[in-house]
Amino acid sequence: MSFQRVPAGRGLQWLTDAIQLILQNPVPFALMGLVVGVIAVVPVLGSLALMVLGPALYGGIVYAAREQQAGRSADFQQLFQAFKEDGKLPKMLLLCLPGVVGGMLILVLGVVFVGGALLGGGLSASAGASSTALGASFGVGLAVFALLALALGLASYALTFFATPRVMLESADPFAAMKDSLQACLANIGALLVYAGILLGVVVVLSLLLGLIPILGHLVLMVALVPVASVAAFVAWRDVYRQPITQELPPANPPPAPIEP
């Protein structure tokens, strides 16, 4: 399926449309975000579980967004839609590969750049180097690591941004969908940067405010962030791939036959 190029301003439109869609029926989407947030707060295991199962859960939110947009009501149980459809879960789980590989590469880069800077700083200190030179060396290593980690994170996100709704709603091949998603993101880099920049800015501000409330603040952030990001991916998929929303509602019951006197 071919994608379209859209103006950069559509990135903001994806977010506003997603929020409007969620506000039509906010409770199921808030509960979905809460479940994801509860999983995330579990030490170590929660992060690992989301790394693997996240695409399936986000796909469930995308499915709920499609149902709400089509005139049917979103339901909390649709969070687990990928687990209920035959053959859908394995496809959605494959979408975790960019995140897993990206996370491993970031870890390796952290060891190389940050660990290397610390080791080099220790050796330089023993050789009598100035603290200014040590700080500059560590700062350069940290800056290079941050840039590379950001690039890897954006690449991982681009591989799954459009692939999640395509695999969930179109049953597309996961690897073909990821390749196509990356191409669609590059073709619409302006809209994607506007969307990601606004979303990231909001997340940073909310994190600073809600970070003062341990655990509860994190859950509130996830309740807001997870549904908006997932529904925005659905909205963007509709926009870039020109997907119509079919109602597919059951026909109305015929009127009762008149009673003969």
**Does residue 5 form part of some domain?**
no
Host domain of residue 18: 10-240
- Tally of structural domains, the chain: 1
Residue 258 resides in a domain: no
Structural contact between residues 142 and 114, judged by C-beta atoms closer than 8 angstroms: yes
Structure-block tokens of residue 27: 């409770």
Is 142 a domain residue? yes
Structure confidence by residue, pLDDT tens digits, 108-143: 888 887 666 666 555 555 555 555 655 666 677 778
Does 247 reside within a domain?
no
143 in any annotated domain: yes
Which pLDDT belongs to residue 117? 60
Helix residue ranges, H only, the chain: 10-23, 26-41, 45-69, 81-84, 88-94, 97-109, 116-126, 131-161, 163-170, 174-187, 189-210, 216-240
pTM score, two decimals?
Answer: 0.83
Considering the domain boundaries, does residue 180 fall inside one?
Answer: yes
pLDDT by 10s per residue, the chain, length 261: 588 999 999 999 999 999 999 999 999 999 999 999 999 999 889 989 999 999 999 999 999 999 999 999 999 999 999 999 999 999 999 999 999 999 899 888 888 876 666 665 555 555 555 556 556 666 777 788 888 888 898 999 999 999 999 999 999 999 999 999 999 999 999 999 999 999 999 999 988 888 788 888 889 999 999 999 999 999 999 999 986 655 444 444 444 555 554
pLDDT of residue 119: 60
The pLDDT score that the predictor gives to residue 212 is: 80
Angle between helix 163-170 and helix 174-187 axes, rounded to 10 deg: 140
Ordered DSSP codes for 169-223? HH---HHHHHHHHHHHHHHTHHHHHHHHHHHHHHHHHHHHHHTTSTTHHHHHHHH
Compute how many other C-beta atoms are within 10 angstroms of the C-beta atom of residue 252: 6
Could you tell me if 58 and 230 are in contact, meaning their C-beta atoms sit under 8 angstroms apart? yes
Environment class of 153 (CB within 10 Å of its CB; exposed 0-12, middle 13-18, buried 19+): middle
> Letter for the amino acid at 130?
S
Angle at 146 (CA atoms; ends 134, 109), nearest 5 degrees:
85
**Could you tell me if residue 109 is inside a domain?**
yes
Predicted pLDDT of residue 127: 53
Residue 88 lies in a domain: yes
DSSP code of residue 113:
I
